[in-house]
Structure 1
Amino acid sequence: MVCISNSQLCDYADNCGDRSDESTTKCSAYVGRCDFESVGICTDDWKQDEDDEFDWRVAQGATSTPTTGPMVDHTTLTGDGHYMYIETSSPQKPGWKARLSSFVIQGVSSDCSLRFFYHMQGDDIGELNVYLRHSYDAQPTRIWHEAGQKGDWWLRAEINLSQVNSPTKSDFEIVFEGIVGGWLGDVAVDDISMTPGCLRSPNQQLPGARSTVAPTAGPCGPGRYSCDSGRCYSQVQMCDFNFFCKDRSDELSCGTDCDFETDGACGWRNSSGVSALWTVRQAGGWGFPPVDHTTNQPSGSLIAFRPNSVDQKDKLKAHLQTLTYRHSAAICQFSLWYYMSADNVGTLSVWIKSEHGLEAKPRFSVSGRQGDYWINQLVDIGPMAEFSVVIEALHSGLSTSGAISLDDLQFINCEPKDIIPYCAANNALCSNRRQCVDKKNVCDGVAHCSDGSDELNCPSVVGDCSFDLADWSGRCRYQELLNSTADCPYQQAATVTEEQSGPVTDHSGNGQFIFNSDSAPDCTRPGDLASVQTPRMPPTPADRYCWIRFWYYMWDKEAAEGNADSMGSLSVYIDYQEGGSRGRHLLWRRIGNQGGGPARTGWQKAEQRLDGIPADYAIVFEAARGGGPRTVVAIDDVSFTPSCRQASPGENGTLVCSSPDELACNDSLSCYHSSWRCDGQFDCADGSDESGCPTRAPPIGEGDIGGQVGAIVGGVIGAIALVAALAAVGCLVYKRRLEVPWNRFGQERRSTIVDNPLYDLDTQDATSGGLSYELQIQDSA
């Protein structure tokens, strides 16, 4: 008989050796338990934070980067088990944080402990922290911390929550925070559990948290809002620098012009991604300005940051930020007044943040003592899309004598009324020249420009596939992987039967898709795989901004009714070969039901950045059957951004292709694989991959003089006719270059040099709805 302590009960570790300490009966009273096996993140107990830089991921087996992260989970100690981890390779950057938070726990809980297992292997491991959060308006309290390389094994941690929460006795959440150290810095957690003394609070909303209650439909109807005048507006009209309401209520919560006198912080908010806070206060006091800037009075208000202590480094930085603005004008500027009078006050910076994180450099930065007076600074923003402004105070940590104070924040000329001459890096200009959109969203099947120009004249990129053609694998050059471990074919369809719980239409509504078929005899068992691979792609440098986009459908009636194992999984891998060795690494995965519903229209969009892949690669889609009889995993409309296959110009202006097996098109816009030369399909926009190809004339008899003469004459006539035809076609193509759309996704293609001007691959004149050459140069800069 083996004796164990009560703290080891139901912690997902087989401490007794016969799993009697992990029995369902004993563990039913334990809360917050999650092994990430059948229901992913355990959404009843755990959730991703919304204000961090990126999210935790569910993983199975090894992570996508070699030599970092676990090879197995802790629950099953096999490559088939699941765990949570932070992916620290591109586009993540050192210092970025991902947070996972719990349900709200009663502050009066006694004998309440948290147990979990963590894994920290890699040369660039950052940090793993655990916090108590009592309010979203205050700093969380760090109660546990580890940093650096810990080795390739799972380690156990236990925290007495009742003890660390005893000073306040107020309700709290547990927050796991992973911080990126570098490329080889994947940090993982698994098998989280709490003891029975941890009581779930009846109020599952901490102060300052965003409301999770669905809004009731107001007088304007669901999804719409009302101005004081009764005028109605939609969510897309918020945070666009256009005051649709006369009372400006459509912009007030976004983080707008603010003097801090009457409206608090005017929608500006502290970021939960850092622990220190900006505070609205009156002027005066030790280390603060004697008067504000707006009223020039001691009674005036301002916003300021000064640390209470210099002992904790994580409390020396504060972020004040807006909500996400949809777009801005070319002449948009941001004005602020700042006051920094102490010698060791630190650094004030203004950053622009997108969904990819902060820009590489701040738009404005100043350090140290600047004088005993208010100073104005204008910060250029320019034409941007989907961005927020972040004001960062980074204290020196040498003393607490000085504060960084701000007043009279203002956006100037930011409403995009005028024509935008160019967009920022990785953004594209819509044809109406009034909006910028992220280039990863161009030609993805969804209109992001108000005029729809981001979905017009889309170029065909190798790897794109809509699965609409009968010979989809041949046209798209996709390869089904049929072997001993993946021997189930994908089946093409426009709809599936009710019994299979699959989609009623494809993603576009009028085409076809592929799904994991059970038509083969050995493809009805749980875990049976269907795998398909894209054509091979060239390496992608870290700054290439290459993305894959696709749509998937995963919904099963039995899974929705509680049988979590009924639905299968969809995994996306990178398959690449480097230095004679071949590897496959997990890029993306979804398990169980994903949206959808009885209407069977729940197509979901997925996108993944592919920058920084050092060798030729292909993308593999692998669908695994679940345990239910109606499991369907469907895929549709796979596309790559053109930058995934763009070659680079050489010193003399000619094109340098990424692989020795590729040839440059005559127009120097793209490359194609040498095996596609003269294969009957146009892969170059100018058709040069199919020009000058040999013809195959029938053989001429040795003694047939007449036949030989006829062949010679016929050849001469044919050559003349061919030249004339090519000239005519060239004129026609030139005339129609802005009229004929490019057929994408492996459909029948015509020889044309049309492309989407938002990709900056053409030199169209601005009057034609595209970009001028000069504007392209500004965009690329």
Structure 2
Amino acid sequence: MGRFLSPVYPATTLCVNFWYKSQGDIQFNIRTYSFGNYNNKAMFSAKGDRGKEWSLGRATLSYSAPYQIVFELVDQGTNDGEVWLDDINIDFRSCDPIASCTFEDENLCGYTYVQGNDFNWVLLNGELGSALVNWDIPSFDHTLGTAYGSFLFLDTNGKPAGLKAQIESEILSENSGKQCLQFYLKINQNNKASLKINSKDKRNSQIKQLFALPTDLYGDAWLAREVQLENYFNPYSLVIEGVTGSNPNNATGQLAIDDIKLYSGQCQGPVGQFDCGNGQFVDSNLVCDFKSDCSNGQDEKNCGSCTFESNDLCGWVDKSSGSFKWTKARNSTAGSNIGPNEDHTFNNQSGYYIAVTTNNGALSQPASFYSPVLPFASSTCKIKFWSRIEGSSASLDASLLLNDEKKIKIFRKNTPLNTQPLVKWVQDVIHLGSVSTKFQVIFEGERSFSSFGFVVIDDISFENCSLPFPGGTCSPNEFKCKRGNCVPMEKTCDFVDDCGDYSDEILPICSSYQKCTFDHSLCDWMIDSNHTTGTDVGSYLYLESYANINKIARVYSRVHVPAQNQQCTFLFYSHMFGETMGTMTVYFRNYLDDFNWPVVWNMTGNQGDEWKRNLVTINTDKPFQIVIDGRVGLGSESDMAIDDTSFSPGCQPVFDQLPNRNETISTSTLSPSSTLTSLPSSQQSGSTMQPPSGQTTKTTISTDRTSIPTCPSDFCLNGGSCFYSIDLGFGCKCVNGFSGFKCGEKLDKTSNSKDTGLIVGVLVPGLIIALLMGFVIYRYQKLNNFKDIFNFKAVTLSNSSNDSDSNDSIAIANPIFDINDDQEDIIPKKKNKKKNK
């Protein structure tokens, strides 16, 4: 026996690392020695021949009193054994587990490159990898989940097929019992390389394959794998081998490994991992993230998208407590008067759908169908489904349940009145938008069982709901989000969480944008006389079509001046949903007395039940105002709305009116820090805006503006008379039978000979009333400037479930949800109107 003792160390835990070679019939141990006593338990033991290569050894030592490290050699009776010892290193901490590595340390945790490699694995992180051209490298590691975490990467770019790169672990002791090897892989679809993990017997060099990479294993996320190791009777090591494959298209493949862990016992599945059922595991937080991270798609199987053709309901659950419930049915086999004969998926009698049926419970409670809990939704998320609603008193609602607490209605559909039954399946689309918290979708259906009819749904799908994938290099026209993905620069500071972490909405420059959400006031918009919160409480500007057919409402911004060397853009969200939808137009004007306004944006007709993002560039070098016109269509289904307006820093606000054409204006603009997002109501009337308290601005007008300008010749058509308003400029008072901006539109007149006597009978007394009414109307028109102009309204929303007309059967296009504030971003839906309003 031979012993080699270290200096004395204090009572503490330490890790001793060393390199050694062991040959022959000898045992090599490491113990502690304290106060004349040798510890009977060896902290490290290697017996017999360990091969001719140097091997890394390590041991964790701890004692309650000062101690020494003992390197001990024990002859086995043959006097034929040798041990070489070198490079001893002491760390005052516990040793990392053997053959386990997060690759955050440059020493590779005892893994070494095998001599004779054709090429080597590369230790990289996402930040370094992003700077390498033509390399498809993971943008984040698994350990830290950031671009600064490290991993091993197999660089196959430009290499011929058949080249090997190997790393080998330190020696693992024999008779260690069953062990489980766990590791994470990052592989893209272009990968052509193969990966094997083998065990190598250190006495006879026998190789045993433990794992081979399946050809169909790839995905955007780090993929967990586990391999069960049986008991080894000889010392052994683990060898990780990557081999280049043929790649005729020169596609950039990606193969990386991280977080190798070896632990004793049976494999139990990684903690916090979802079992894909094919030997693959993915992080549990990737389940139902609207991307298939399992190669077989099992992580997205029960996440809401459903055709109802399988044995389950794809995670949907009926939670009805009233007299109705949702039931899977086909060809009305669930009972009489249940649904159509054909489903939508197959369009035949063998296909299934989900239908509202009878239930034992309280009356007046709808059937409630809950989706699985979903973690989030991106700003582009849509829910698509096919429905059929027939019969009297039938309705279908959809709501969001946020964090199992707040319920928000996002969709309503009723049986149309005075129309033929819906004999075909109809696709409905809910533009959900960004939801940054856990949520569920709830479908609620009601119908009458005293007469024919049904409410059925089929083929539900969640589309474009996944968050942008982090990684890659952003172009100069893109913004790098905090989570690592790129979004177009024009989508920053636009009220919408495009990044998935709000980093595109909290940039310092966003404070320089002049924003208005209409949630607390009209800011500095002036009405002629909600997109933001994503909830049922919020505000937007709303143009009501009832009793205003073919009329115009108009709203004006404050005066702005374009900043030098900066682009001036105007952002707003519009909602134009209805079969008789009219036209919305955006102009800018430079002078009060000039009505040849350049059109910068125009939209006509039904644009769907969603808020549309609109970005326009203002090309002018003069002070200007934005003018938004809304012209009602030819029917009551033409309500329109505006929300979340924003001017870029290239548009500088000023506190003054526009000049007339023979005047000039010289202004000093507000500094970006003085940007207004809301003005008190006392400062909103009229077009001359006063700076809020504590702010100063200098504004000078070059001429006296108290005189009334002369109307242009032939400004008004068809006998209309011209007048001037300081707020709006020139307008026209139209004669009977004409309307429109310049009285250019002829009103339709209908007569009936059967009514002639009645007309004559009331004509004389009616003249007196007409004279009185004429004066009132004239004054009204003067105050409102134009005969065909009426007001936008600032609408403040309340929960639609409390609306007095929430059970009416006619849905008029009127948004009941404003959008995008803090954590919520819900798309507006129809508001019900009374038929006889």
Normalising by structure 1, we get a TM-score of 0.27
Query: Which structure shows the higher strand fraction?
Result: 2
Higher share in helix: 1
Normalising by the residue count of structure 2, what TM-score does the alignment of the two structures yield? 0.26
